[in-house]
Amino acid sequence: MSAKKGGGSLNGFLDRGARLEGTLSFDDVFRIDGQFKGTITSDAELVIGDGGVVEGDVRVARLAVSGTLKGSVYAKERVELHAGARVFADIHTPILVVEEGAVIQGPVESGASGAPRTEEAPKRAPAS
């Protein structure tokens, strides 16, 4: 995934050698090439670059991983694991793309059942 595919522009960047711990939220595309530990929440796209290491709870619309991710992932739209990605996480997403060379360990829920539930659908009256 890229900013062009997602339609957003780069909103922020955590470069190699930088370390951050806490809660992160953003509006467009955010890229991590450094180290982050904590909670990430956004209705946009997170990119974990090949040098990036993220540990914690990730709740985003779209996620692209080339680096390392440990924790849990709830993606509303899709998760892409690129060659070289190392993911040790619970993953919940409607669409999961795994390239050859990516490592994934942990439970995965994908397809319609893997879509994170944000709200319950209204109940319909039985047909007569």
Reported as a single tens digit per residue, the pLDDT across 18-31 is: 999 999 999 999 99
Q: 50: buried, middle or exposed (CB in 10 Å: 19+, 13-18, 0-12)?
A: middle
pTM: 0.81
Reported as a single tens digit per residue, the pLDDT across 60-113 is: 999 999 999 999 999 999 999 999 999 999 999 999 999 999 999 999 999 876
**CA-angle at 43, arms to 37 and 98, nearest 5°:** 70
Reported as a single tens digit per residue, the pLDDT across 9-19 is: 788 899 999 99
| Contact present, 47 and 64 (Cβ < 8 Å) | yes
| Contact present, 106 and 91 (Cβ < 8 Å) | yes
pLDDT band at 115 (very low <50, low <70, confident <90, very high): low
Residue type, position 55, single letter: E
With H, G, I as helix, E, B as strand and everything else as coil, classify residue 3: helix
